Amino acid sequence: MFAKLFRRAEASVDNAIGDLGNRVVVAVPFLIAIGFAAASLSLTLNKTYGPEVGNLLVAGVFGTLGLIVALIFKMRNNSKAKAADPAADEMPKTEAEGEAGADGSIFDDETVMAVVTSAAPIIVPAMLRTGLKNWPLLLSIAAGLYVISRPGETAADTSAPSPQP
């Protein structure tokens, strides 16, 4: 009885992971294209308006694009919440906004938690095996990060004092 339920849950997790993988594969070329478009836009605006104004214009374009995307996602989440709960229209506005804010967290979704809890026993040992195989590389990366993060001496501190005539 429970085995069938567990198989269904495992199948839904596998489908969710597969859908996420497909979305990532589709999104990567578009993200690369956006990067090249941003570089081209930046070069064109820097040639036309100079570096300061050109970079400000690129930042403004991306800021505006970010606001538009945020508004679209907010409208989609609000429409999904209203479709799921028709009584939300009857509630006062502050309570409806409070519940929409609480439901907006990605970590409250039971599907995400199911994916994480089912994938962790597979991913953690694989990460440990990979880390143990590549421990010299990881050790040298850690040492390099340590050296870079330390406050270094300036050239004036390391140079020998000049002799007094």
CB 39 within 8 A of CB 59: no
18 lies in the same domain as 82: yes
Q: Residue 91's domain spans which residues?
A: 7-104
114 lies in the same domain as 92: no
Structurally, how many domains does the chain consist of? 2
* Rounded to 5°, angle at Cα 142 from 152 and 148: 20
What's the pTM value of the predicted model, to 2 decimals? 0.40
Structure confidence by residue, pLDDT tens digits, 66-108? 888 888 888 887 877 777 666 545 555 444 444 444 555 555 5
Q: Which residues of the chain have pLDDT under 50?
A: 88, 93-101
Is residue 156 domain-resident? no
Question: What are the φ/ψ torsions at residue 151 (nearest 5 degrees)?
Answer: -70, 120
